[in-house]
Structure 1
Amino acid sequence: MEEVRQSRRDGGITALVEGFFGAAWFGWGHAAPPAWLDPWLTVGSVAALLVAVAGAVVGFASAASTAAINNRAAGRRYGIIVGVEFALAGLGAALLGALGQPDYIPVWICAVVGVHFLPLAPVLRDRNLIPLGILVSATAAVALVGGLTTDVVPSTITGVGAGLSLSVFGAYALIGALRQPRRRPEAA
């Protein structure tokens, strides 16, 4: 069976999305970090944004027809997975807020984000989403335990763990995209 690889466009867009959300997680980590960590979160955010910008340049300069979700069925599956992710994240966050546990909202969202990568892997033709999903989910577990047993707020743990995981995997996707040959759009 022939291995299906990500296109240059897919790799660039993956770097864009993972870099952007890596920066967002580093930003969330700024909620109440120890003073020594604050500048490192800023460095992480800037690095993640650089990955996102480079990913956008590579992705949008590549043929759209090569994208994994270029066909209707893949686009529909992608939309369903992301829609369920947003619904679960929002409902859980609302419930945690209503229960007076807002410090655990980042833990819940991190867990949902981590799990959502698993069904996205085949849709986006990206096997790297599986270890990324495992790492982000593990970050949520560590943040839960850390929040319950230490003085470190969960957003600090999720900010560092998810931010770093997304940024590193985004950079890896960008490198993979740059190694892919440029393809011309298919004629209609």
Structure 2
Amino acid sequence: MTEFLRDAAATAAIFGFFGSAWFGWAQEKPPPAWRRWLITGSVLSILSFIAGGLLTWRHWSDGTVFDETVGRTFGIIVGIEFALAGLGAAVLGLTGRRDYVPVWIALVVGVHLFPVAVVLHYPFIHVIAALATVAALAAIPIARARSLPVSAVNGLGIGSALLLGALVSLGYALFGF
């Protein structure tokens, strides 16, 4: 796991926030039977965001892996992530593949988490990176095979991966230190 409570709590907050966004995106046109599960995922993600945020705030003065070098490297990774996500979304939009935009963004998010795990010295993030990447790669084939909306399959997959990351990080922040 991570060396610092604050970093685990902040990870729970960040993954919870973005998990709720992905569960929300999945609610664009889901099968009716999925709605309650997507709403449950959204609510749990928001609760993880709030709890992680409060715990981060409470331990703000504690240690963190972030120093000048880590902060700069992290910023570069996130900048590249945003650039690739935006560029790919634009290309997909211009070529009439708008339905694939969330999958592209999920793939970029998943892949960017691999270097984030290294920079933050938080190996567990590799697990979430792998789950998010696999969810993105599997979304289109699963959606096609089952005649489901791509956004629903993709959002459920990456939302679940991020919720898992939020809950494990929150549990570690609460009970692992």
Classify the TM-score, shorter chain.
Answer: over 0.9
Cα distance in structure 2, aligned partners of 1:23 and 1:81: 22
* Alpha-carbon distance in 2 for matches of 1:13, 1:158: 24
Unaligned runs of 5+ in 1: 182-188
For the aligned residue pairs, the C-alpha RMSD in angstroms reads: 1.4
Report the equivalent of 1:18.
15
| Cα contact 2:112–2:129 (8 A) shared by 1 | yes
Q: Alpha-carbon deviation of 1:64?
A: 3.6
State TM-score, norm by structure 1. Answer: 0.90
Pair 1:62-2:59 in alignment: yes
Alignment of 1:158-169 (within 5 A): 158-169=154-165
Per-residue deviation, 1:148 = 4.0
Partners of 2:19 and 2:45 within 8 A in 1: yes
**1:146 pairs with 2:115:** no
Q: Give the SS at the match of 2:31.
A: coil
Match of 1:31 among 19, 28, 32: 28
Structure 2 residues without counterparts, runs of 5 or longer: none
**C-alpha distance in 1 between matches for 2:25 and 2:11:** 21
Say whether residues 1:74 and 2:86 are aligned partners.
Answer: no
Q: Which runs of 4+ in 1 moved over 4 A?
A: none
The question of whether the paired residues in 2 share the 8 Å contact of 1:26 and 1:45 is answered with: yes
What amino acid does structure 1 have at the position aligned with 2:173?
Answer: A
Say which is worse superposed, 165-174 or 150-159, in terms of deviation: 150-159
